[in-house]
Amino acid sequence: MTSARRAAAEAWAFRARVEQEAALRFDRLAAVLAGFDPDSPVPAMMRRAADDERRHTELCARLAESLGNPVALERELDLASIAPRSLDARKAALYETVAACCITETESMATLTTLLAGEPDPEVREVLHAISRDEVVHSRMGWAHLSRESSTAEVAFLGPLVPGMLAGTIDEGLFRPPPADEDPEGLMRLGVLPLAKKREVFLGTLEQVVFPGLEKFGVDPAPARQWLAAAARR
Amino acid sequence: MLFKKLFQVLVLGGAVVGASAGCSQASAQQQGKKPPADAGTSSSSGGGVKGW
C-alpha cells in the first residue's frame, strides 16, 4: 500500500467516527435549543443535520473500506457535552454549538472546498461533493444560533473559552513538519490535504472567517488569537 | 477569495437564517438552569470538536 493510500484510509476512517459523533451531538443539541428558543429555525436544521451526518458516516466508512481500512463503528456510542461544567444549560448549548458548527463545521467547509478545487479521484469527488452540500447548512446553523443569542443574551463569556475549543479541535501534528514519505499529490487525489496545505487552510479559516464572525456577534477573538500564536511557537 | 466567500456564505448567510424567524427570547425559567444530568457534561474547562 502506498503512503498516500494508507494515510487516506486512516483519514476517512477517522472522518466516519467524527461524522457519527456529530449526528449524536446535533440530535442532543436540537432538543436542548428547542426548549430555549422555540421560534428558532435552528433545532429543525440540527435534526436534519443529524440525519445528514449519519449518511456521511456511511459514505466515509465505505471509502475507508475501499482504501483498505474497514471501520468498526460503535453502535451504542454515548457522547458527553464538551461545555465547561460551570456554564448553565443555555450557555453550555451555545458553547457546544459554537465549537461544533462555527468552528469545526466552518473548518470542514474550507477543507472540502479546497479538496474539490483540486483533482480528486471520481469516487472521492462524489463523496466530497455530497458531503459539502450539507456542511454549508451545518456551519450556518451555528452562526444562526450565535446571531440569535447575541441579540437577547450575553455571549461575551465565550471569548476566553474559545482557546479551549481550539485546543480540542486542532490536531497535535498541525504545526509539526510533514512525514518524510508524504505524497501531497496522492493525498489530494484521495481527499486528504497535505500537512502544509491543511495548516494554511485551517489558519486562514480561523483568521478570516471564524474570528471575524465571532467578533461580529460580540465574542472577543483576542484570547483565541493569543492561544493560536503560542501553539504555533511550541 | 476562498475565505471571503466562506465568510459571506456561512457567517452572513447564517445570520440571515437566524433572523428569519421570531427573535430569540431569554426564558426566565431557563436562565441559570443547569444542564440535565443526562446531558453528560464531563469537562471542567471545556473542549472542542474534532473535524476533518
Q: Do B24 and A85 touch (CB under 8 A)?
A: no
CA–centroid distance for A91 within its chain: 20
What confidence category does residue B20 fall into, taking pLDDT thresholds of 50, 70 and 90?
confident
List the beta bridge partners of residue A84: B43
Output DSSP code: residue B43.
B
- Sort out which chain A residues have CB atoms less than 8 A from B48's CB and list them: 82, 99, 103-104, 164-170
| Mean of pLDDT values over A22-44 | 95
How is residue A233 written as a grid cell? 511557537
pLDDT recorded at residue A73: 85
Domain holding A179, by residue range, is 3-233
ipTM value for the complex: 0.93
Compute φ and ψ for A134, nearest 5 degrees: -85, -35
Sign of the alpha-carbon dihedral angle for A59, A196, A212, B44: positive
Nearest Cα residue in chain A from B17: A144
pLDDT at B27 over 60: no
The pTM score is 0.92
d(CA A171, CA A77): 22
Looking at per-residue pLDDT, the higher value among A124 and B33 belongs to A124
Nearest CB to A169 within list B25, B36, B51: B51
Q: How far, CA to CA in Å, does A73 sit from each of A61, A79, A100, A202, A220?
A: 9, 14, 20, 27, 38
Q: Do B35 and A100 touch (CB under 8 A)?
A: no
The number of helix segments (H) and strand segments (E) in chain A equals: 10, 0
Nearest Cα residue in chain B from A87: B34
Biggest CA–CA distance in chain B, Å, is 45
Q: Do A88 and B31 touch (CB under 8 A)?
A: yes
Q: Is the minimum CB–CB distance between B18 and chain A shorter than 8 Å?
A: yes
- Sort out which chain B residues have CB atoms less than 8 A from A39's CB and list them: 21-25
End-to-end Cα distance, chain A: 33
Q: Is the minimum CB–CB distance between B8 and chain A shorter than 8 Å?
A: no
Q: Is the minimum CB–CB distance between B29 and chain A shorter than 8 Å?
A: no
List the beta bridge partners of residue B43: A84
A178-214: b (≥16 Cβ within 10 Å) or e: beeeebeebbbbbbbbbbebbbebbeebbebbbbebb
Q: What is the CATH number of the domain that holds A113?
A: 1.20.1260
pLDDT recorded at residue A138: 98
| Mean of pLDDT values over A26-33 | 96
Q: Do A107 and B33 touch (CB under 8 A)?
A: no
Output DSSP code: residue B28.
T
- Sort out which chain B residues have CB atoms less than 8 A from A21's CB and list them: 49-50
What confidence category does residue B42 fall into, taking pLDDT thresholds of 50, 70 and 90?
very low
pLDDT at A71 over 50: yes
pLDDT in tens, A106-142: 999 999 999 999 999 999 999 999 999 999 999 999 9
Q: Is the minimum CB–CB distance between B50 and chain A shorter than 8 Å?
A: yes
Please tell me the distance in Å from A27's CA to the nearest CA on chain B.
12
Nearest Cα residue in chain B from A135: B10
DSSP helix/strand/coil, A84: strand
pLDDT in tens, A76-89: 778 889 999 999 99
What is the count of structural domains for chain A?
1
How is residue A102 written as a grid cell? 462555527
